Amino acid sequence: EVSLHMEKEKILAETEDISSTGAFIRTEKKIAKGEHISIKLTDPKGEEFTFVAQVMRVKPDGIGVMVKTISLNDPNNLSKFLNRL
């Protein structure tokens, strides 16, 4: 499960494929190509990781995003976080 935060809206969705550089997120909500969104991932233990991504691809069943910004304290932690999923 993933939470997408846009300017005025929060959307719950699911990740289908995720790596340290991007993800495909299943959502019925239409999000424009090029839009920047904040993504919050939650692992099975309830720990969270947040980063900013840009929508690179829009498909009927979801969006493809590229990781754009990760906190300076967290760049290596995304890979560690993904290993726990």
Question: What was the pLDDT predicted at 2?
Answer: 85
The model scores a pTM over 0.85: no
For the residues of 34-85, what is the DSSP string, one character each?
T-EEEEEEE-TTS-EEEEEEEEEEEETTEEEEEEEE--TT-HHHHHHHHHH-
**pLDDT tens sequence across 27-54:** 988 899 999 999 988 877 777 888 899 9
